[in-house]
Amino acid sequence: MQTSTEPAALDEARAAEVAAALAEAGPAADPVGPVTPAEHAARRTRCAALLAAAGLDALVVEPGATQRYLSGVDASLSERLTALVVLADGSCFWLVPGFEVERVRGSAGDVEVLGWQEHEYAFAPLASALRRRRAERVAVEPALRAFQLAGLALALGQETLPLATGLLRDLRGCKDEHELALLRSASERTQRALLAVSRLLRPGLTALEIGALLRHAHRLQGMSGHWDLVLFGADAAEPHGSTGPRRLERGDLVLVDTGAALHGYQSDTTRTWVFDGAPSERVAQVWHAVHDAQRRAFEALAPGRRAREADAAARAVFAAAGFGGAYELFTHRVGHGIGMEGHEAPYLDGGSEVFLAPGMVFTDEPGLYVRGELGVRIEDVVAITAGGATHFGQWQAAPTSPAG
């Protein structure tokens, strides 16, 4: 789960408190460097091999996570087409607005950069660049916008172009060692931020103020793109509940779902705990059911098993505990893929026939939501290994603190 909010600015005294709380919350995570140009080149080679295996000649990719994954170039998405094209023969090229050619060349390494002029609307130059390279079976990424797809299909004289959905899932779905290290470290940093900020909670704070503390705790650990969802009491009964003007009170059940990116790789962690008080019997019962469901889902993760088994495992726990085994109170899937995007394929939902494979990374995030009363979600990031699955950071241990 994730949403974006704009936390309030932090004054110097509060910023210093966050730094001190972080130091108390545990040692800084080991540094992990960004993905290198050589790694991006190797990804393009792997993409080319997948294209060849699928009987395709080329893949057209717009600005976004897949383009960054393949190139490291963070181009902005606008009405003008900025395309990276990977060909099955291992070559590739950029086709960008003419006035952007030099700028893109500066970050494209040795990949050829072609330009199109404003009156050409990109598609005819792209079609002729593809024809020159004898690329006939051209696929596009599923995220390519419909007007770009329609324009390209027309220029190539085709009704439509195939979507490379499965190919991209194969390419990006299984993370390599460097990506796993980045994702693990991002999760550990977010858990440390959560623990630090939990120790700074005081009655009277608003969700926005808590968000600002979390943002600073992420920033101090070298992360960017912070987002958070902070909900008190019954506000958490909507999984994507909206942050109200309420102020934190002693004994409130607090749900914090937050994350940020480390060199472009995302974290996504949720903790639910009682602020400065003991959980009621009801809260303890709900929290422990969610905690058990999270563990059962984790135990259902192993290579060769279906993605949907994890969702079913969590629901079985809720059924046995009397909360219903369908979508009565657990209203969403148990998890989603995570990598360069906060939510990405494959997904851990009850309909997924995807077979799990080593290197796939998911959230494991069951929840129970009782409208007008409470919401509990616990979310961690896990990765499929050769023998089962591994967990990043520490599981939440009890409903009294986000700590492990």
Beta bridge partners of 347: 336
Q: Which of the stretches 135-143, 198-206, 219-227, 250-258 binds Zn ion when contact is defined by CB under 5 A?
A: 250-258
CA gap 336, 349 in Å, rounded:
8
Q: Which of the stretches 113-121, 313-321, 363-371, 395-403 binds Zn ion when contact is defined by CB under 5 A?
A: 363-371
Q: Does 1 engage in binding with Zn ion (CB under 5 A)?
A: yes
Q: How far apart are the first and last CA of the chain?
A: 21
Q: Closest-CB residue for Zn ion?
A: 1
Q: Does 309 engage in binding with Zn ion (CB under 5 A)?
A: no
Min separation Cβ 210 and Zn ion, Å: 15
Q: Which is nearer to Zn ion, 209 or 257 (CB)?
A: 257
Select from 62, 179, 188, 257 the one that contacts Zn ion (CB under 5 A): 257
Chain center to CA of 294 = 18
Q: Does 228 engage in binding with Zn ion (CB under 5 A)?
A: no
Q: Which is nearer to Zn ion, 257 or 344 (CB)?
A: 257
Min separation Cβ 343 and Zn ion, Å: 7
Residue among 281, 335, 334, 292 nearest 317 (CA) = 292
Query: Do the beta carbons of residue 69 and residue 179 sit within 8 Å?
Result: no
CA gap 162, 139 in Å, rounded:
5
Q: Which is nearer to Zn ion, 17 or 380 (CB)?
A: 380
How distant, in Å, are the alpha carbons of 55, 90, 234, 263 from that of 35?
Answer: 29, 20, 42, 8
CA gap 307, 317 in Å, rounded:
17
Q: Which is nearer to Zn ion, 171 or 334 (CB)?
A: 334
Select from 141, 188, 268, 311 the one that contacts Zn ion (CB under 5 A): 268
CA gap 210, 285 in Å, rounded:
27
Q: Which is nearer to Zn ion, 206 or 270 (CB)?
A: 270
By rule CB under 5 A, what count of residues binds Zn ion?
Answer: 7
Integer Rg of the chain from CA: 23
| Helix (H) or strand (E) segment spanning residue 186 | helix 177-198
Min separation Cβ 327 and Zn ion, Å: 17
Q: Does 214 engage in binding with Zn ion (CB under 5 A)?
A: no
Q: Does 363 engage in binding with Zn ion (CB under 5 A)?
A: yes
Chain contacts with Zn ion (rule: CB under 5 A): 1-2, 257, 268, 270, 363, 379
